[in-house]
Structure 1
């Protein structure tokens, strides 16, 4: 009985943070664990149907109560602040490559990073160096004001302006990630409409007759050395948006590039997406 009361309390807490709903609108689905197990990882997943107010959840306690580094999902906020402050003119603004050859955590050469990039290219390639330069141009004081205004996670920058979202200084919960995506989609963040429209535009990854899939990925490492992966965004079918966040954790050697999108696509397919029938 105590366990049921505790779960209900957590569900209500999630509803208050993210959206207006009741425990009757939240469905926990432990069967989604199989997709995480297939890749030997743990994590959490949340899906919100904006039309009906229904919320699908796997691993509710991790979704609501645990905070993690945002890794490259912070590029959403970095882009918003950069555009709003004029440090990024628009999605076509180019920053020259500094000539340093970089590699992905799995050891592959980061070919998509090691060249001159526009903001749109850097966002889609998740190019860390581009956005580190954007953060330096924004500056600590301006960045801090915006993080405070957004109430973004623990809104902590720490010692380094160009790596605080990568080194476990800045942390937020999966439900905060989803809340940000939902507010961005509806233009409810404290930025100009143009700013939000540009970021929404570059988040669009797949666009066809059946669906539009928009997201930002992230890949970083926790203090314990474990790899952490994110995918946050929304999928639209027949002009109906569904918001999602996936948080994945595995051993340091886990290759999050195929793992995170593999889990996301498997879950969405099981829920009936990608056919234009939602």
Structure 2
């Protein structure tokens, strides 16, 4: 899609206003603190019951008023923009491995990254190199147009088109993250239905007779060196969706990949999910 067409498309949509929690539809749940303590991290968790319009939130001030680098949760938006602009044809499009062997923060080889990947494979493996190439193909001007249209976080890309979501230029609040995935679920973002359907399908990680669990994780470092972990998505039971966001923070050596999933699964299980009875 040419830049002039993108400008027209962006101008033609109403600016997306993310979902916002307010005192009259929020239950503060301090009991969730135990899950963060057990995993030696701090943070916030919020879940939105679409049927009742009610939020249940732990650490409300962090949920509403603090912003953090999105890290790999930005792959949701990077995918949307890539497909919408034609830089990515569909989830099966392969980007060749550049031959550089990447290593994970813990020192292990990133086996899931160091090979040719389709977009759906890169999304599942959270492969940074694939999405850095997508961002370069999109280009800074086009990326900025869509980020502005979405009103995504602080809308700051900085100078590096292939790392702004991991270098603390771009930041977003947990509240805004939840609003984004809710609108994706219902096809309400300013992208074609096909584009949103492709990305929505890539987010589904567990799907069985009792529930569907869809999410994207993120992992990155704050300016002070602390580790930030995200999980954003939804759980659906009996055609009833609940949207959630987990934001956790710990020291640079925190076991964040395990911690964030332990917290998410612990809270959802406590709330009666995974049995198909919600």
Task: Tell me the TM-score normalized by structure 1.
Answer: 0.92
Shift of 1:148: 0.5
Instruction: Say whether the 8 Å CA contact 2:18–2:180 is kept in structure 1.
Output: no
Equivalent residue runs for 1:34-73 within 5 Å:
34-73=34-73
Shift of 1:175: 0.3
Partner in structure 2 of residue 9 of structure 1: none
Q: Distance in 2 between matches of 1:28 and 1:106?
A: 35
Partner in structure 2 of residue 124 of structure 1: 124
How well do the aligned residues superpose, as a CA RMSD in angstroms?
1.1
Q: Distance in 2 between matches of 1:95 and 1:195?
A: 19
Consecutive unaligned residues of structure 2, counting only runs of 5 or more, are: 1-16
SS at match of 1:18: coil
CA gap of 1:17–1:188, structure 2 versus 1, over 3 A, is closer
Q: Distance in 2 between matches of 1:22 and 1:121?
A: 38
SS at match of 1:113: coil
Deviation digits for residues 37-65 of structure 1 (CA, Å, limit 9, x no counterpart): 01110000000000111210000000000
SS at match of 2:247: strand
SS at match of 2:217: strand
SS at match of 1:177: helix
Partner in structure 1 of residue 223 of structure 2: 223
Q: Distance in 1 between matches of 2:203 and 2:258?
A: 19
Shift of 1:17: 5.5
Equivalent pairs, count: 262
Shift of 1:24: 4.1
Partner in structure 1 of residue 205 of structure 2: 205
Instruction: Say whether the 8 Å CA contact 1:47–1:244 is kept in structure 2.
Output: yes
Partner in structure 2 of residue 161 of structure 1: 161
Q: Distance in 2 between matches of 1:114 and 1:274?
A: 34
Partner in structure 2 of residue 79 of structure 1: 79
Q: Distance in 2 between matches of 1:109 and 1:259?
A: 21
Partner in structure 2 of residue 150 of structure 1: 150
Instruction: Say whether the 8 Å CA contact 2:68–2:172 is kept in structure 1.
Output: yes
Task: Tell me the TM-score normalized by structure 2.
Answer: 0.92
Consecutive unaligned residues of structure 1, counting only runs of 5 or more, are: 1-15
Equivalent residue runs for 1:129-140 within 5 Å:
129-140=129-140
Which stretches of structure 1, 4 residues or more, deviate above 6 A after TM superposition? none
Q: Distance in 2 between matches of 1:191 and 1:54?
A: 27
Partner in structure 1 of residue 91 of structure 2: 91
Partner in structure 1 of residue 29 of structure 2: 29
Deviation digits for residues 183-232 of structure 1 (CA, Å, limit 9, x no counterpart): 11111100000000000000000001100000000000000000000000
Q: Distance in 2 between matches of 1:142 and 1:25?
A: 37
Shift of 1:23: 3.1
Q: Distance in 1 between matches of 2:224 and 2:257?
A: 20
Q: Distance in 2 between matches of 1:50 and 1:79?
A: 25
Partner in structure 2 of residue 11 of structure 1: none
Partner in structure 1 of residue 105 of structure 2: 105
Instruction: Say whether the 8 Å CA contact 2:45–2:244 is kept in structure 1.
Output: yes
Instruction: Say whether the 8 Å CA contact 1:106–1:255 is kept in structure 2.
Output: no
